[in-house]
Structures are given as C-alpha cells and as structure tokens.
Structure 1
Amino acid sequence: MNKPLGFKLGMIALLMLLLLIPLLMISGLITERQHQRDSVLRDIGQSASFEQQVAGPMIVVPYRKTERSWVEKEGQNVPQTRTVSGLLYVLPETLDAGLKVDTELRARGIYQARLFHAKGTLSGRFKLPAHWGVEGNVEDYRFDTPFLVVGISDVRGIENLPALRLGERTLAFEAGTGLDWLQGGIHAPLPELNLQQGGELDFAVDLALQGTGELHVVPVGRSSTVNVQANWPHPSFIGNYLPNRREVTASGFTAHWQTSFFATNLEDVLRRCTADQGCAGFEGRAFGVSFIDPVDQYLKSDRAIKYAVLFIGLTFAAFFLFEVLKAMSVHPMQYALVGAALAFFYMLLLSLSEHLGFALAYGLSAAACVLLIGFYLSYVLHSAGRGVGFAAGLTLLYALLYGLLSAEDYALLMGSLLCFALLGVFMVLTRRLDWSRVGRA
C-alpha cells in the first residue's frame, strides 16, 4: 500500500456516503411505483367493487308511540299527548353462514388486482317476542310494516337476484336498507306475515358477491357460525375475532368462526344506533379474511434496499482485506464502480419484478451483478481465481439476503447472526496483522 491508512478509510467512507444518493433515489422510486400500483387497484375496485362486508339479516320494525303527560294550564292539570317514532331491531337467534370463495386476477397494464367471488347462504332462525318485545302499555304503540335487512357494503358486487326464504314462503328483496345508518344493502318488506304474536321464523338468503381485497361478516346471531372455504393459499384473518379453526394448504384454506351475544353485545350496540351518530360500533364487530398478497414485490424490494449499505460495506471490507493481506492497491474509482454495480442491482430488481415476479427478477438481477463484478475484479485483482472467489462470496450474500426477505419473522435473528459471523471472519483473517504498519509506504 502506498497511501496512508486514514486517507484510504476516509475515501471508502466518503464513497459509501455518496452511494447513498442513488440508493435513496431508488427507494423513492419504489415508493412512487407502489403508490401508482395502489391507485390502479383503486381504479379497478371502482370499476368492479370494493371490499365487502355482510351484516345481517335482521328484522327492523318501525313504530309510533303515543306518550301521555300532564301539564299545568290556568291552574289545572291538562292531559297532553305526543307521538314519537323509532325503530325496533330483532336479531336472529341463530345464524349460519357458509361461503365458498374463488379468486381471480384482473390486470390493467402491468398491475394486477385480486378479485373474489363469494357464494353461499345465510340461514338461521328468528325467535320473535310477542308485540316485538315492547314494554309497557301495548295500546300506545302502532307498528308499521316490518322489513328484513341484509347490509352489503358495496351493492355493485351483488352477482345474483337474492331471494328471501321464510319457512315455506319466498319473498323478493328490494334495493336499499331503509336505514339511515346502514347505507349499503337490501331489504324485504314483510307485509302479510302476522309476526306480532311472536314465535319462531326460519330464514335463508342465497348470496353471490364480488369484491376486492377483503371480505367481512358481522355475526348478528345470538349464536353465529361462519364457514369460509377459498382457493387462496395466503389468507390474512382480520377483524375482532380470529377463527376457532382454520386449515391452510397450498391449494387454499378453510376457516370456521363461532361467536355469541356475550362476545358481540350487538343488541346494546343497536339500541344506541341513531341517524345522526351512525352505528360504527355495529359494523366494527366484523371479522373476515384479506385476499391481498401479504408481501408483494414492492414491499420486498423496499425491504431489500434496506440492506444495501450492509452489502456495499461488506464488499468494500473485502477489498480492504485484499489490500492489507496481499499488499495490493485498489483505487477509489474501482471501489466506486463496484459500489455502483451493487446499487444498480436494486434498480434491476424493481424493474424486472414488475414483469417477471419477485423470485425470478431477484435471481436474474443477482446473476447479472455477480457476473459483472466477478469479470471486472478478475482484472482489478490480477487473478481470475480472486474474481471467481469474490463472485462466489457475492452469490452467498445474495442468497442470504433472499433468505432474510423470505423469512420475515426471523429476519432480525438471521441478520444478527450474519453480521456476527462476518465480523468473526474478519477478525480471524486479521488476527496476525500488525495494524501499526498498515498504510506505511
């Protein structure tokens, strides 16, 4: 070596700082492309249908109540009456929902959105109280025509003509819910059924829904059972309740939920639902599954670039080892060119992954960078064997990086072990080196 050690280390540190500029630009490009992809997915959802949430069925009973009071007028108590209106809600005693879900891809340009088609039946039984369970003088109440409501968050995704089966009868649904706080959905008037005397009423609703992203169900039954079967092998279970049982295979998944009124407390929630304040507590009791790819190519590319400084630092450290152990001189420009090739790997990875998928794009990008750097270093280090050795080391590092990206739960552990192992190798190789003589002419 013919340059002072401090000068060489300073140049290496400066080069690493300069290489942060293209790395930050590539990181910003990843974020920009991800936002563009999300915008396209929203456009596809706008053209098809967004996330779907099914709430119901439940029976809604409009009523008018006469309230009597006494007021003092000219020294006498005079009777006064006024009429108030409201809604009574009857939730099913049992709810059984069985849904079979198939997914498909819709493409727009290079971007793809995953749509789902859910088909199944909502069935169960209502246990109706006499006079709809009102307390006090029944004569003060006037009940209007009750109706059955099924909330569907995006009605554009309804793919069939849903019909309501009540016992032996079949009734048609109409658009809308008739409720100010539950905008999306359908309802079926129940004009000819004498329901005020109470009793039990079996129901069944056949539904076929299309949506994107997520499917939610609100467990409105006193006892609710929901079974979902889908051909998507990467489900993410979301909401307030996890499935009691689930099975995930390479061809799809099955999941089973079971809840009760003790867990959901929906009756009290419904009593507090008003047109002004809405009913976020009711819809917030939902659970379901997400059909979005949990780790897409942009997220993986973003995670990969976080290790870029480590990669460049390890490569520069290997150069420095050659200098001090083999008494060779590597020019800062040669450091810079190799660092640029390592940084360009992430640009190749981003651009190829949009067309080929992340795994294949990673392999091609890593192979291109390894071959280029190996060829270049064969001349820089004056030995084809040294160039091949460096290429083999880079191949191992890229393989370890891919393992870090794939094993999300163990990424910190694997990264810590990798850094510790490389530090150990560096210390072993330099254990006999006299650092006080390094850098002298």
Structure 2
Amino acid sequence: MNRTLAFKLGAIAFLVLLLLIPLTMIGGLIDERQRYQGEVLRDIARSSSYSQKIVGPILIMPYTRTVQHLKINDQTGERYQEQRETSGRLYFLPERFIFDAELGTERRARGIYEALLYHSDSKVSGVFRLPQKLGLGEKLDQYRFDAPFLSVGISDIRGIRKDLKLRLNNESLEFAPGSGTSMLGAGVHAQLPMINPEGGQDLEFAFDLNLQGTEHLQLVPVGRDSRVMLAADWPHPSFIGEYLPSRREITDRGFTAEWQTSFFATNLEEVLQQCGKDSECANLLGRSFGVSFLDPVDQYLKTDRAIKYALLFLTLTFATFFLFEVLKRLSVHPVQYALVGLALALFYLLLLSLSEHIAFAKAYVVSAAACVGLIGFYTSSVLRSWRRGLGFAALLAALYGLLYGLLSAEDYALLMGSLLVFAVLSCTMVLTRKLDWYSVGRSPHEDN
C-alpha cells in the first residue's frame, strides 16, 4: 500500500473517531432533555394524582380475645386460672368481586411536554360470604368483636373525584378517608353495622368509584371469583402485572380487556394469612394486574436508539464516499470528509429538536431530507458531477430509510443491521474486485 492511500485511510479513521465527540455531546443532550421531561411529568402528577393501585374491598373485624391460662403458685403449689386478653383483626375476602370501568384519557401540557391522565368511571360490586362461626369453631366464645368495617386501598386518594357511598344489603353507608389498616396503605373505609358472629350470612356490596390517575391503573383481584373489565379510548395499551387479560380487543379508537381469576390462581387467602400482623403486606399488594397509559412514541428513546447507530452510519457513508473517490480516480480532501461527517452528526441534533414539536416520523423525514439535500448539493461539486452527487444522495437517503427501519423493528434490529453490513461489504468487494489497490493514490506520472 502506498503512502497516499495509507494516509487517506488513517485520516478517515481519525475523522470517524473525532466525530464521536459531537455525537457524544448530542447523546448527553438527549439524556438531559429526557430527565427534564421526567421531572415535568412527575410535577404534573404531583399536582394532580399519581399512578393508581386499588386493593379491596376487604372486610375487617376487630376483636378482643380472652383466654384462660392454668397457672401454678410456686410457693404453695396451688393451681389457679389467669385471664389474658389479646386484640387483633379477622380479614375476609369477597366471594365474588366485579370491577367494571370505563376510562377516558386527556393530555395535560406544561411547555412542550405532555402528560397523559386518565379518568376512571368504575362500578365495584360483589358479595362477602361469611363462614359459620367466622371460621373460629368452638373458640368463638373467646372472642368479643368491635364494629367491623370495609376497607379499600387506593394508592393516591387525591384522585377520588366524587363522594363514595357504599351500598351494603340495600343499606347506604358513608366512606371515610383512610383505609383503617396499614396493610393496605392509603385508601377509604366504611363502618358497618354489627355482624352476627355466628356467620353463615351473605353481605352484598356495591359502590361507584370515580378515579383520576397517571401512567398506570392496577388492581388486586381480591375475590374468590374475580372479574375485571376495562374499556378506554386509549389505542396503545400495555398490559402489566401478574396476570394478562383473558380477552382483549384493541382498535384505533381504544381497547377493551377482561380479566377473570380465582383463588386457585391468585392464592390470596393464604397470602392474606401470611401477612399476619396489621402491617404493610408487599406480597398482597404485588398480586396485581392492570394497564399502562404511557405514550409508546417516546421521541427521546427513539433518538437515543438512532444515535447508537451513528458510528455504523458514519462508517458506511465514508466508505461509500471513499469508493466514489477510488473508482472515479478523484481526490477528496480530509476536510471535505469532515464537513460531510459534521452534516451527518447535525442530523441527530435536528431530529432531537424537531421531534419535541412534531411527530417523530415527520421530524425524521424533515431532518433526513435536509441532510441528504445539503450533502448531495455539496458532493456534486466535490465529485465533479451532479449525477455523482445525485447518486451519492440517493444512497444516503437509502441508508436513512434503513436506519428508520432499524428503529421501527426493534425485535429485528440486530438481524437487519447484520444484513446491512454484509450487503455493503458485498457491494464493496464486487465493485473493487478488479481494482489495483497498489495504483490507488498514485499520480499518472508515477504510473508511467
């Protein structure tokens, strides 16, 4: 290899490395804007309401238990009865639990950033089937019960939009703030009339819940037989949690989804018993499912993914530029390579700034068209032919099209990238198969 060719290849490699500096700076700018967007979204949620998780209703019966213990006097050896009292709570899950909700979404903007809020118009109903003697058997006589209450855990009660009224066996009762148990965290509760401790009765309940939230809506299927139905005007749902819907339908106008679970699938009765003391139970709260209302078109995520291919893009573009130079016996200065490389780097800055104001696809087309037009016009003079400049611009436009395909087909990005590199290498080998590399870079005088 002659010195001219070695110098040219070394200069091109050095330029590629040098252009990583502005690309790294643009990557840092993407991270900064993404963090700022997250702060704005959290601020909007803080002033309205956060993601919502609904747990319950759960029927809770506080009790005081009196137990007689046989004791022996150490000095006299006489036996006597000592009475001890302990307090606690009995927890009952619904036999049937139905949650039917219609959700509407709206966007709240702050500057150029938007947050998606949802409003849930929900109808909650079901029945508690209390066991005989509350499942205590012959020990029932040891218990003295206080007034029971119905508890519903709601992660952010600021999202409750209307007063809550509980309908229990056709009797109307008021809900009060606070779940009444640290096991469920924040929420509401309703005091119930005294229940016959002999049990064996059904308590039918129903209430309407108008709730506002952001990002996610999740529920814990507390019933022995649970059925949850959601319908929303959001066409991009992401179903999350421990259980996927048994039926779902997604259209351009929204989605409907239905979950149906049983105690055999959730094992919530055992989970509730394992929670034991009246403290927060992560295992119970974690048995949830629901839907995410996050916008799937995140311009920062896609721009960040695009810039990860920048090194490959620069290499392929410079390789194409170099092939024009070699095959057409042209002389292109490293400064001209550098200007083309800066135009390629500017594409990502244009994409970032435009995607904050218009749709990502439109921002991509405008940015790519601007860079292709600029580089095509410039290379027409560098390559001394408008046809060559047009051909180079067409190849560059094809690369931008392939890059967009890589961004859109996340699951096949590696495959498409591998095929692209193989295709470029194949074309290079075919076009240069008869080229005398020893003569590249020599002047006509040296060839003679």
Cα deviation 1:90-141 (Å, max 9, x = unaligned):
1111111111111111001111000011112111111111332223322110
Counterpart of 1:255 (choices 249, 257, 264) is 257
Q: Is 1:388 aligned to 2:390, yes or no?
A: yes
Taking the aligned partners of 2:3 and 2:252, their CA distance within structure 1 comes to: 58
- Match in the other structure for 2:446: none
Following superposition, the deviation at residue 72 of structure 1 comes to 2.1
Structure 2 distance, partners of 1:188, 1:277, is 20
Determine the structure 2 residue equivalent to 1:237: 239
What pairs with 1:253-402 in structure 2 (closer than 5 Å)?
A: 253-274=255-276, 278-402=280-404
Whole-angstrom CA distance in 2 between matches of 1:395 and 1:195: 78
Query: 1:184 — aligned with what?
Result: 186
Q: Distance in 2 between matches of 1:438 and 1:389?
A: 22
1:114 maps to what in 2?
116
Runs of 4+ in 1 over 3 A off after TM superposition: 192-197, 274-277
1:30 match = 30
SS of the aligned residue for 2:184 comes to coil
State the partner residue of 1:218: 220
- Letter aligned with residue 358 of structure 2: L
Provide closer, same or farther for how the CA distance between residues 19 and 276 of structure 1 changes in structure 2, counting only shifts above 3 A.
farther
What is the deviation of 1:277?
5.2
2:9 aligns with 9
Give the SS at the match of 1:26. helix
| Alignment match, 1:434 | 436
Spell out, residue by residue over 1:363-419, the C-alpha distance to the aligned partner (whole angstroms, 9 max, x if none).
111111111111111111111111111111111111111111112222222222222
Counterpart mapping for 1:3-152 below 5 A:
4-73=4-73, 74=75, 75-152=77-154
1:440, CA displacement in angstroms?
3.3
CA contact (8 A) 2:121 2:210 kept: yes
Is contact 1:180–1:275 with CA below 8 Å preserved after alignment? no
2:44 aligned counterpart, secondary structure: helix
Amino acid paired to 1:169? E
Which segments of 5 or more consecutive residues in structure 2 lack a partner in the other structure? 444-448
What SS does structure 2 have at the residue aligned with 1:145? coil
Shift of 1:276: 7.1
The one-letter code sitting in structure 2 at the alignment partner of 1:18 is L
Alpha-carbon distance in 1 for matches of 2:62, 2:223:
21
Check whether the contact 1:128–1:195 (CA below 8 A) recurs between aligned residues.
no
Aligned residue for 1:328, secondary structure, equals: coil
1:323-380: CA deviation from partner (whole Å, max 9, x where unpaired): 2111111100000000000001001110111111211111111111111111111111
Contact 2:148 2:194 in 1 (8 A): no
Shift of 1:248: 1.1
Deviation (angstroms), 1:273: 2.2
> Contact 1:56–1:150 (CA<8 Å) still a contact in 2?
yes
- Which whole-Å CA distance do the structure 2 matches of 1:35 and 1:141 have between them? 56
Q: CA deviation at 1:77?
A: 2.3
Q: Give yes or no for contact 2:66–2:86 (8 Å, CA) kept in 1.
A: yes
Q: Which runs of 5+ in 1 are unaligned?
A: none
| Contact persistence 2:228–2:259 (CA under 8 A) | yes
Say which SS state the counterpart of residue 433 (structure 1) adopts.
Answer: coil
One-letter code aligned to 1:58 = I
Contact 1:181 1:274 in 2 (8 A): no
1:194, distance to aligned residue in structure 2 (A): 4.2
Cα distance in 2 for residues equivalent to 1:134 and 1:434: 95
Going from structure 1 to structure 2, the CA distance change for 1:432 and 1:147 (only over 3 Å counts) comes to same
- 8 Å CA contact 2:69–2:83 kept in 1: the answer is yes
Report deviation, 1:56. Answer: 1.0
CA distance in 2 between counterparts of 1:439 and 1:135 reads: 99
Q: Does structure 1 conserve the Cα–Cα contact (< 8 Å) formed by 2:380 and 2:389?
A: yes
More displaced, 29-38 or 277-286? 277-286
